[in-house]
Amino acid sequence: MELSAVFGFAAVALAMIAVPGPDWAYVLAAGTRNHVVWPVVSGIAIGYALITAVVALGVGPLIATRPLALTALTGAGALYLVHLGIRVLRSRPEPLQAADATAASPLRFLARGVGVSALNPKGLLIFLSILPQFAHPTATWPLPLQLTALGGVFILICALVYFPLGHVADRVLGARPHIAQITTRVAGAAMILVGIVLLAERLVQTSWH
């Protein structure tokens, strides 16, 4: 596999990951409110690993050519984001003692992280439309292996961005209750807004077909 393709995709992936979206909102909310980082980011990584497997197995192009399937995935992702955003807005920042008790059951945060990334409509579009452009059928590596490697690059960059972001939210924002509350509410509102916009965009696109 050509290194130019890997570095080219890495540059595109970094640019997209650096733009705040559902992943950012969930990492910030969990870090400031619950003081949880590793399960959240690990869940996000697992979600993108699942999408990578779907694309590498050749299912991705089939989904991309079926508007109904894309609409269903987008709707599920958008509604899930709205659901998480409402939960964040309705909750209160937890003190460190409560966060320590919650940390004993990290599977809940990991599962939500999987849901945020696996159902992230923008993430699905990246993997279905952009990632395959950097894989070449004539390369020495088999196409599924190329797609898997590129997906791994995306996941690695996610980890390099989201782990520091989560720790900053935990140690800097989480230590300041007033700022933590504001950040948490902004993150929750952002998830709701992104979910509504994505759902509206998909409905408009569907109505034109």
pLDDT digits (tens, 9 = 90+) for 145-198: 888 999 999 999 999 999 998 888 888 766 666 666 776 677 777 778 877 876
Full-prediction pTM beyond 0.85? no
Is 45 inside a domain boundary? yes
Percent over 70 (pLDDT), the chain: 74
Given a contact cutoff of 8 angstroms between Cβ atoms, the answer to whether 189 and 45 are in contact is no
Give the whole-angstrom CA distance, residue 24 versus residue 134.
25
**Does residue 19 lie in a domain region?**
no
Burial profile 94-130: b = 16 or more Cβ within 10 angstroms, e = fewer: beeeebeebeeebeebbebbbbbbbbbbebbbbbbee
Quote the domain boundaries for residue 84: 3-11+26-208
Any domain includes 16: no
Q: Residue 20: inside a domain, yes or no?
A: no
In a domain, 186, yes or no: yes
Tell me if 34 is assigned to some domain: yes
Q: Please report which confidence band the pLDDT of residue 57 belongs to, taking 50, 70 and 90 as the band edges.
A: confident
Distance CA 137, CA 143 (A): 6
Count of domains for the chain: 1
pLDDT for 48 beyond 90: yes
Q: Which residue has the higher pLDDT, 19 or 27?
A: 27
